[in-house]
Amino acid sequence: MAVALSSLLLAAALGGLLLLAGQYLALRGHLRGASRPPLPGPPRPSGEGAPVVSVLKPLCGADDDLAANLDTFAALDYPDYEVLLGVRSPRDPACAVARAAMARHPGRFRLCLQRGEPGMNPKVNQLLTLARVARGELLVVSDSNVQVHPDYLAEIAVLLRDPAVGLVTHPIVGVGEERLGSVLDGLQLAGGVAPGVVAAKRLAGHDIVVGKSMAFRRSDLDALGGFAAVKDVLAEDFVLGRMVPAVLGKRVAVARRPVRNVSQRRSVADFFSRYQRWSVLQRALAGPALHAAQGLLNPTLLATGAAALAPCPRTLGALAAVAAARALHDEGCARLLRGRGYGLAAAAAPVKDLVLGAAWAHGLFAREVVWRGNRLRVLPGSRLEPARPRRLGRAAPAARAA
């Protein structure tokens, strides 16, 4: 029985490698513009008649290299735009960094203090305030740990000139890694998240919107109910991406140039904690059956299981081959996305897969997440409710009395 199950896991691992190969080819075709229809209008907007853009950037804490991240938004190749920096409290460490950016670039940034907490999603609560004071016709949501290329807004504006497009999102690539957790994060963004988003769109016609970067016309967002429509869901980006075709009858466009996610000093524990939360989220969105099936995209985990069930030269050799193939896949995707790979650090890809496997297993059973200090229960569709207080043990009455 163990040998048969081991063989089945190895066959599934091979199938997973084939799926990853398809994702790599889809990503390469997307970034190179293969078979892509021409964009409407000129390649980038001129100053005259270009829509005003408001970049909405919620801040929470001093992210890695936050000052440099903000500086990449100070001189974008676009005629009329503003960057709104949102903070929940003046005591947030990000507030001082935001004020310094305003001093370095007068007139480019505005600091906005969050007004009220109407929903369960803390990021959306900030976006509600930012959208209310924004002056732009186009609204661009950009996370605080993101850096962008100078033509970032120009490409968005060109894509949104097509009236059939209701939302623009971007592939993501990690940069800045100094610690192992950040290396693992970058390998997953390059080898898992970015090719997964692109392949889902190009090969299956499914939209996966990652909120690191998403852009709308204000009129389209209003027709969806504004950010208030997603104030009580955890995956506001994914849900908005589903609403665009369902409510507006429009499509999601994936921009060609990736945005850069800066992660320098993340520990392995930080990496695991983040993907634990994502796993609970993915199960709530996809359902238990599809979430379980996502294990096929982790061939290292499958091959490890095969070797553990029936350790022998055949299974151990297969595990080594699968691990090497996964490292080559992640390295190749990173070179496509950021122009350089991870070199010897790509050998950590199998470690990344095993950590992700533990996070995936957590998502099979867990229903709660801790996000920005709040413990929340995640319901189907990623709707949120406060987690129920955990029952205290017998010592609890004495602890309360103390």
**Active site (catalytic) residues:** 237
DSSP 8-state class, residue 311? -
Torsion sign over Cα 41, 46, 48, 53: positive
Token duo for residue 113 = 């203090």
The Cα–Cα gap between 172 and 134 comes to 25
- Coil, helix or strand for 38? coil
Per the rule left: phi > 0, alpha: psi between -120 and 50, beta: everything else, 284 is: alpha
Give the three-state DSSP class for 112: strand
Q: If residue 133 lies in a helix (H) or strand (E), which one and from where to where?
A: helix 122-133
Residues 6+ apart with CB under 8 A from 80: 47, 50, 52, 53
Place of tokens 């999102």: 169
Give the ranges where 205-252 is alpha helix by DSSP (H).
218-223, 236-243
Strands 53-58 and 81-87: parallel
**Whole-angstrom Cα distance, residue 65 to residue 76?**
19
Contact 307, 229 (CB under 8 A): no
User: What is each CA distance from 369 to 48, 64, 284, 366, 383, in whole angstroms?
Assistant: 47, 23, 12, 8, 12
CA distance 402 to 394: 14
Q: How many CB atoms lie within 10 A of CB 222?
A: 12
DSSP 3-state assignment of 366? coil
